[in-house]
Amino acid sequence: MKSIKTNREWIDRLLPEGFPVKSSMVITGPGGSGKPLIGEAFVTAWLKAGGSVIFMSLQYPRKDFITESLARISHINIEDYPGKAAFIQFDPEIKGMTEPIGNDFRANLVYPDIWDKAISTAEKMLPNEGPGILIFGSALNLLLFSPTYWKDIRQKIIDTISGEKRHTYIFSVSTTAKAEEIKAIENAADILIYSHSEKPPFRLYMKVVRANNIKFLGEEIQVPIPPEALKEVKEVADHSRSRVIPAVSKI
């Protein structure tokens, strides 16, 4: 399997050859603009194709927010894919990692060695079938608020998504803060998507800025996601910033 199509007209028109397996995508744009919701469309297609997913969504305080968002927006029940999902929950208040409970554990991803250990732990929970393992990480810009480790963890993210890839990666980053620092992550991706929202009412837009070695349509489109869902994403993002950034800023 060389690529995955989402079977959603609005994405497949922009990426007519699909999303290549063992490639990397970065979705960038202002905070609270609904970037993870775009990523969820690819996650849904990945699961339906028989692949496994590691979720590391830094802006969600519990994995329930991820599964509920997938059910509401993508109409997919993660329980219909038993053994195909693992959840790394970001916890800046701990030094390392917790012991997994089922398919779920907490980790302080600010530390580069914990980043590697967490991904390795999650990998062992999942079968490497179909298109393989997709790592879906959102709000990774939060890690760059660490005054001590931001350069090291940024390089770890860059190393993860560039060069020879063991898996497929979709990461989202907010450019509301640390925009200059984030440029290096954007440049490392095989596919770069820019998104932004308008309000009120809430409307989400996306554009494929770059796609290495595959065809793409570089026009901006409105993403057909209900305004109430975008409003909820913004509220969660605002809560996350107020809770997570102060903690990360002390590391």
- The residues spanned by each domain of the chain are 20-248
Query: What percent of the chain has a predicted confidence (pLDDT) above 70?
Result: 99
Q: What is the pTM of this model?
A: 0.94
Please give the residue that has the higher pLDDT: either 236 or 126.
126
133-163 residue pLDDT tens: 999 999 999 999 999 999 999 999 999 999 8
- In single-letter form, the type of residue at position 183 comes to K
DSSP state, residue 234: H
Other beta carbons within 10 angstroms of residue 160's beta carbon come to 21
Contact 92, 174 (CB under 8 A): no
Backbone angles phi, psi at 110, to 5 degrees: -60, -35
Fold of 20-248: Rossmann fold (3.40.50)
Q: Reduce the DSSP state of residue 143 to 3 states and report it.
A: helix
The alpha-carbon radius of gyration of the chain (Å, integer) is 17
pLDDT higher than 90, residue 168: yes
1-46 residue pLDDT tens: 599 999 999 999 999 999 999 999 999 998 877 888 899 999 999 9
Q: E strands within the chain?
A: 3-4, 19-20, 24-29, 52-57, 85-90, 104-107, 133-138, 168-174, 191-198, 203-211, 221-223
Contact 122, 137 (CB under 8 A): no
214-244 residue pLDDT tens: 999 999 999 988 777 777 777 777 777 778 8
Integer Cα distance of 219 and 230 in angstroms = 21
